[in-house]
Structure formats: C-alpha cells, structure tokens
Amino acid sequence: MKALFAVAPNFHCSGSWKDRLLVAEGSGWCAPHDDELASLTLTKPGSDPACCCLFSVPAHMRNRFWAMLNEEAAEGTGDFDKFSEDLANFLTFKELPPPKDSVSELLIQSPDGKVETGDVWALINFGEEPVLLTWPQLQLRLGPAEGCRMTVGLPPNVVPPPKDELNVLLAIRLGPA
C-alpha cells in the first residue's frame, strides 16, 4: 500500500504537487518527475475516497486559533473545545467531516519531539512554516494553514522542526473503537 494524494473536494489549495511532494533520491530528496507525480496524485478529487486528502483552513479560522492560544496564555480562558467544534463544523460543511467520537489535540513539536500518528485522522499545520510529513521514500510539505486527512493504515512521521523552531499542529485523532 502506498500513499496517494488529492486535494479534497470543495477545497482550493494554491500551489502545485511538484512544490509539495518530495521523493527520495539517493541520500536526499527531490521533486518528483512527471511519471512519479502521475503515480502519486489523483487528478479527480474524490475518485479514491481513502487517499490522503489535502485541505486548507480559512484565514479567519487560523486567526481565531492564534487568538485562542493568546487568550489561554494571557488569561487562561482560551476555549480549545469550542475552537475544535467550530473546526469540525467547517470540515463538515466542506463534506470532510471528522469521524464520530474523534478528538482534537494541540501539538507543539520541538526539534527533539516525536508525534504519535498511529491514530491520527488528520493533521493541520497552524504554524508559520511548512511541516514535513514523511512516508517511506516520500515526503509531503504541509504549508501554513494546510491540513492532510490521512489514509487509514498509512500514518506518516512528522519531521521535527529545525533548531529553535516549533511545529504547531492540530491533530484530529480517531476516537476509541
């Protein structure tokens, strides 16, 4: 089983897959050639419901996320649950509803941190810099305000940020079975 990618239906993500995907080449990474790209991406959104779906979070929601974090830091009253509910409503409107009983979690990943992704339904990058998700021989550059709904059974690793930086992610995890 290998990861297949598509932009989720009803979403618009600017930029091309050539700028997002990286394939292993020797000891490094490079943009995929056209034939590799064709085997990694779906041109028709929704043609494979199980594929990794790229989506984007609107700017107003990203602003609210940071306002909520700032309020939590300053007053201790930031309402993460309310924000998570609003995010779920947005995704549901977009016909990408989180699974029933899923749980949202704020992840701050430091350069030496590891993110547990086994039960992750989706990861959303709320930081200022891209976050790299990696599968065998393959990486996805998740831009600011972009999210990825994962293929079940193909959890990625999250590449830790460079020194002195943090990855700021929101994980939507599958609930208890």
Separation CA 98–CA 30 (nearest Å): 32
Q: What would the two tokens of residue 166 be?
A: 């943090």
Question: Judged by CB, which is closer to another protein: 51, or 87?
Answer: 87
Question: Judged by CB, which is closer to another protein: 58, or 175?
Answer: 58
Question: Judged by CB, which is closer to another protein: 66, or 93?
Answer: 93
Q: Does 100 bind another protein (CB under 8 A)?
A: no
Question: Judged by CB, which is closer to another protein: 107, or 124?
Answer: 124
State how far Cα 175 lies from the chain centre.
18
What beta strand segments (E) does the chain contain?
5-7, 21-25, 28-30, 52-56, 103-109, 120-125, 131-135, 138-142, 146-149, 157-158, 167-173
Residue ranges in 7-36 that form contacts with another protein under rule CB under 8 A: 10, 12, 14
Tell me the closest approach of the beta carbon of residue 147 to another protein, in angstroms.
Answer: 13
Question: Judged by CB, which is closer to another protein: 60, or 100?
Answer: 60
How many CA atoms are closer than 13 Å to the CA of 63, on its beta-carbon side?
A: 3
Residue ranges in 39-68 that form contacts with another protein under rule CB under 8 A: 58-61
Task: Encode 45-55: b = buried (16+ Cβ within 10 Å), e = exposed.
Answer: eeeeeebbbbb
Separation CA 9–CA 82 (nearest Å): 25
CB count in 10 Å sphere of residue 107: 19
Residue ranges in 74-93 that form contacts with another protein under rule CB under 8 A: 90, 93
Interface residue with another protein among 36, 45, 94, 121 (CB under 8 A) is 94
Considering CB under 8 A, how many residues would be counted as binding another protein? Answer: 10
Separation CA 111–CA 161 (nearest Å): 5
Q: Does 175 bind another protein (CB under 8 A)?
A: no
Tell me the closest approach of the beta carbon of residue 32 to another protein, in angstroms.
Answer: 24
Q: Using CB under 8 A as the criterion, which residues of the chain lie in contact with another protein when the complex forms?
A: 10, 12, 14, 58-61, 90, 93-94
